[in-house]
Amino acid sequence: MIHYFLLEWKKMRHFRSFWLLSSLYIVLLPTLMLIPKSFKHIPKEIGGKNTFYMFPSVWEYVGYLGNWLSFFILGFLAVIFITVEFNNRTFRQNIITGLSRINFIKSKVIFIFIISLAATLYYIFVCIIYGTLHTEHIFVSKVIEHIDYSWRYFLMCFSYMTIGLFIGLITRKTGGALFLYLSYGIFIELFIRYVVHLKLFSGRTMHFYPINATEDLVPVPFAQMAQNFMDQNGFSMFLTPNEAIMVSGAWILIFLVLSVKKITSTDI
């Protein structure tokens, strides 16, 4: 595992886009969380500005912000570092020099696994710093009340990067892959879910799409309040945490299997 990670690291450490996107994630996650401090009026239901930063709600708010950053930054990163292999013809070079196709895709999966883990550890660090500075009375029970968000956050990061990896593999061109990734995440899936799927099927099946399931791993804060309202009116707005974990995990496996099949059938 370390060997494959180092193989990718040797490529990425000289790649400007890798450092640019990584730096954006590192800088934006804590700094964008400062925006609520400029709000003049906070709804009473939220409880005040410190609610965004104190334990245990800090896990939710930083996680939701990280959800957006992970979609754009980590997803972009996964797209770019697979398409650059085809653009620079290093995929062909790796195969010619003896690296099997399976080991090639294995190195990519291990790399995005490590990146997702690093992003999650940084998320935990930011939450602990903000929570410690803004919580008046700190108790262990309060700190770890929503600690489950941390490993759901990891699965979210890994899911976005897996989707980006697969789209990069089937498209190969960086510009086209980024456009398809953004289009699917922002428009295409919503169109299928609400315009097509909702008219053909009933029930909650419209939520079981890859991007939506990934988003629901770390949903908008106070999602439970919104869900309770929807339940009273016979409509479900979110997947439950367990459903989001199972569905996103299933999609990760599907995309990984499809990625392996794609790379084994790719011409060099």
- Per the domain annotation, does 254 fall within a domain? no
Terminal alpha carbon distance of the chain: 25
Query: What is residue 87's predicted lDDT score, i.e. its pLDDT?
Result: 85
Query: What pLDDT is stored for residue 160 in this prediction?
Result: 98
**Count of domains forming the chain:** 1
- Whether residue 259 lies inside any domain: the answer is no
Quote the tokens at residue 156.
């979210």
Mean residue pLDDT across the chain: 87
Please indicate, yes or no, if residue 27 is contained in any of the structural domains.
Answer: yes
Contact by Cβ (8 Å): 261, 103: no
Tell which residue, 170, 165, 16, 158, has the closest CA to residue 79: 165
Does any domain span residue 250?
no
Q: Please, how many CA atoms are within 13 Å of residue 40, restricted to the half-sphere of its CB?
A: 0
Task: Give the pLDDT band of residue 173 (cuts 50, 70, 90).
Answer: very high
Q: Does 161 score more than 60 pLDDT?
A: yes
In a domain, 127, yes or no: yes
pLDDT band, residue 61 (cuts 50/70/90): very high
pLDDT digits 0-9 by tens, 12-24: 888 889 999 999 9
Whether the per-residue pLDDT at 222 is higher than 70: the answer is: no
| Any domain includes 248 | no
How high is the pLDDT of residue 238? 78
Distance of CA 218 to the CA centre of its chain: 9
| Cα–Cα dist 243/2, whole Å | 32
Query: Residue 14 belongs to what domain range?
Result: 2-188
- pLDDT-above-70 percentage for the chain: 87
Let me know if residue 115 belongs to a domain.
Answer: yes
- Give the pLDDT of residue 18: 92
Residues 208, 247: contact at Cβ < 8 Å?
yes
Residue with tokens 């941390």: 150
